[in-house]
Amino acid sequence: MLGMIQYRNMLKPASDKVKQREAWRYLKGQGLPVSLLDKWVEDGIVKRHKDTTKGQNTPVWYRLSDIQSAIVALRTAEATE
């Protein structure tokens, strides 16, 4: 059990905050199209963040937990159909 916890912590990122490019890679790794991220933002499931205090070329970022919960909701909906 302890080994599983250590392995999970090793895979978990240090921060819940991921850049847009990393979010796209995560979705591709899950076998999902990147366009889902824009749809989830439009539907209000996932929020898009940008630090406006740091300047014009600030990266867009998302919370990985929001993306993961959207994936779980999507797969749950697919399973019930």
pLDDT the model gives residue 57: 80
Q: Residue ranges of the domains in the chain?
A: 14-80
pLDDT of residue 14: 62
Q: How does pLDDT run along the chain (81 residues), one tens digit per residue?
A: 666 666 666 566 567 899 999 999 999 998 999 999 999 999 999 999 987 776 778 889 999 989 988 988 888 888 887
Interatomic CA distance for residues 61 and 4, integer angstroms: 29
Nearest CA-CA partner of 51 in 60, 41, 62: 60
Question: Helix, strand, coil proportions of the chain in percent (round to 5)?
Answer: 60, 10, 30
